[in-house]
Every structure is written in structure tokens, then in C-alpha cells.
Amino acid sequence: MKALIIGAAGFVGGYLIRELSSAGWEVHATCLPNEEIKEECHIHRLDIMKKDEISQILGETVPDIVYHLAAQSSVSVSWKRPQLTAEINVVGTINVLEALREAEKKDTRVLLIGSGEEYGYIREGACPLSESEPLNPGNIYAATKACQGMLGEIYARAYKMDIIMVRAFNHSGPRQSEIFVISDFCRQIAEIEKGIREPVISVGNLSAKRDFTDVRDVVRAYRLLGEKGKSGTVYNIGRGKAVNIQFILDTALSFAKCSIEVKQDPDRMRASDIPLIEPDVSRILADTGWRAEISMEQTIEDTLNFWREKLMAYGLSLGNSN
């Protein structure tokens, strides 16, 4: 199998490269000219706002499967930069789909990676959310991802393209940006342990309930959907059990090596926050056999250890430069 991962320089991209490579796939991956991919694969420079560049890479690589990961994926950033979010997540997706539609290889499978945030303002009693639940996005990022999925369904029907739509719920793990909650908590704890932050952890809304899955489980789901998923189908990916952010915080603090005070920061509260988002993941289990295997405790501990090691390496590099 030959895969092309569009937008592979981000958090998920590196894990997906390793997952596919370990399964024996030939992996091609794209990134912007100013980005870096550290994993071993065939690397291509690409700006998805330029359809001609996408077409050229498709012609050069002739992939069996395309994973479309390129996105502005932060909810908080989407509130601050809505136009950028729409351009990347909607216009960029159209460019990818048009380039694939025009390509000579008509049987290329495409996975469009969306988000559980698309369900948005959820009616009472709807959780766990099946893929047939109406979408009602509650933030700008979610709206752009819902649009992406609708575009995928339209192209699949109108042009008979092999497209799978994915609604991936929250995923985390080592190397994730600190703008996401688990990594944020772990970074703060590691900095407190190292003595470069006062022993106070800043938090936002702790009552919201979300479904969290380890990124290593998520990319395994992506591989299995590439191999076994049904064309034209939407798949939820998640653990299938939501927990509140308080649980995430308490678990992270349980691994801390010192006493830490918790303080709520008004600046960390979102303009709109959905109380509960939890998926029904029976469809992907039935079609591929996938289910989450890595515990949340393991994900949080691994992420905290990543930040500890990163701060240690940073300290050593500073010492070596003197």
C-alpha cells in the first residue's frame, strides 16, 4: 500500500507515519516549506491553498490512500482567527478534493479527518452520539469541519469517489502542543517540578465532559479505516466514554512530584463550551475491529514524562551553550 499524508508536520502526522511504516506501507508526506518532518518517509513540500501543487504531488506519488490531516485544529485559535480557520479547513479541502477528482488514478481512497466537535449543541439524551446524529456546531472550528465532511459526502455521491469521513474526538499524547488541555496541564506540572513556575496550575472550565483517546490508538484507527472502512461512510473515533476535565486534572496531579495549588483563570474559559460530548463507536468496531486500548492514565503519564524530558533537554542545552 502507498499512502500520501497531507499535512504531516503536525502532532498526528508523525504518529501516522510511524503507524503506516510499521505496517509495511510506502509513506509519502507533505508539509509547508517552513515545517519539518522528522520521521523517515518520502517528504514533499506543499501548500494546500495551491491546487496545482496538490495535483503535481498526486501525479508524482500515485497513492492508494490519501490522509487529509492539514487543518487549523484549535478551537481557541478558531475564535481568534476565524477567516484563517475557514480558508485552511474548507478551501484547502476543496483544493484537495478537486485535485483528486481530476487525477488520473480514480480509485484513490481519501480519509477526511473531521472532529467530534461537529456535533456541537447536543440535544438532551443524544449521547452517546451516533454518526446519524444531526450536526449543530458550537464553535467556528467545528463549523469548518462539519463543512469539510459535507463536501466529502457531496464529492463521494456526485463523482463516485472513494471517500471516508472521520469524526475524531479529542486525542492526546506525548509531543502534543500545550494549547490542548492534557498537554497544557502536564507542561505546567513539569515546569513547577523544575522550579521555573510557581506551584500554581492555571485551569479553565473543569466541568465539561469530553472523550479522550491516545493518539497512538487514533492513528491505528486511521490505518484500519484505510484498509477496511466502507466508502462514503462517516466514522466516529473515540474511547466511547467521556470524562470531565476535573478527572484529567486530578490524574495529572496524581503523578506530580510536589504539592500544587489549582487556580481558575478567566482567560482560559471559552466563549462557548459544550457540556458533554461522547461518541458511539460501534460502527468502527463492527467494520474494522478497532477499539481504544491505551488507558487515559497511561496517556497522561507519558505526556507528563515527555514534558519532563523536554525541559531537562532544554536545561542541558542551555548549560552546554555557556
What CATH number does the domain containing 17 carry?
Answer: 3.40.50.720
- 22 and 147 inside one domain: yes
For the full predicted model, state whether its pTM sits above 0.85: yes
The Cα–Cα gap between 255 and 2 comes to: 41
What confidence score (pLDDT) does residue 276 get?
A: 85
**Residue 266, preceding bond cis, omega within 30 degrees?**
no
What confidence score (pLDDT) does residue 75 get?
A: 84
What confidence score (pLDDT) does residue 192 get?
A: 97
The Cα–Cα gap between 243 and 248 comes to: 8
Single-letter code of the amino acid located at 233 = T
Number of domains observed in the structure of the chain? 2
- Residue 187's nearest CA partner among 178, 179, 196, 195 is 178
Q: Is 102 helix (H, G, I), strand (E, B) or coil?
A: helix
In the chain (322 residues long), the average pLDDT of successive 10-residue segments reads 97 97 98 95 97 97 98 89 97 98 93 94 92 95 97 97 97 94 97 96 92 98 98 97 96 97 82 78 98 98 97 67 40
In degrees rounded to 5, what are phi and psi of residue 48? Answer: -70, -5
- 141 and 265 inside one domain: no
Whole-Å CA distances, 199 to 161, 195, 219, 304: 54, 8, 35, 16
- 142 and 257 inside one domain: no
Q: Is residue 81 part of a domain?
A: yes
Q: Is residue 144 part of a domain?
A: yes
Its domain, for residue 28, covers 2-172+212-237
The Cα–Cα gap between 295 and 83 comes to: 37
